[in-house]
Amino acid sequence: QVQLVESGGGSVQAGGSLRLSCIYFGDPYNWNCMGWFRQAPGKEQEGVAAISTAGRSAYYADSVKGRFTISQDNAKSTVYLQMNSLKPEDSAMYYCAASPACEISWPQALKFHFWGQGTQVTVSS
């Protein structure tokens, strides 16, 4: 079992930055992929980024490449999502999730087994 708690969401103007954090608790050793997903009202859930906690490989949606960076701090049991050059279309509820391996799960949300409660990001124009 793994518990995930997100934080860091908020309201910013277009062009601004936010850093989301996801602290994980429990037994993460069998869950080697940490991902960020988002969902806006009326839209499908979208995979944003993921990181393989063993090899540190990172994966990104085309819509965020060059603007978002996923990273981890194992000592703090935390995964971060640094979001720069934010756009109004980035507004959504952002969720942290865990899966056994990014290679077999990213970017399919159904293959991520544990989820946090979400943190809201709102970008105004």
* pLDDT number for residue 53: 81
* pLDDT number for residue 27: 74
Tokens of residue 97, six digits: 């999730």
Rounded CA separation 110/75 (Å): 28
Per-residue pLDDT tens, the chain, 125 aa: give them. 889 999 999 999 999 999 999 999 887 677 889 999 999 999 999 999 999 987 679 999 999 999 999 999 988 999 999 999 999 999 999 999 999 999 999 999 999 999 999 999 999 99
Rounded CA separation 73/16 (Å): 24
* pLDDT number for residue 59: 97
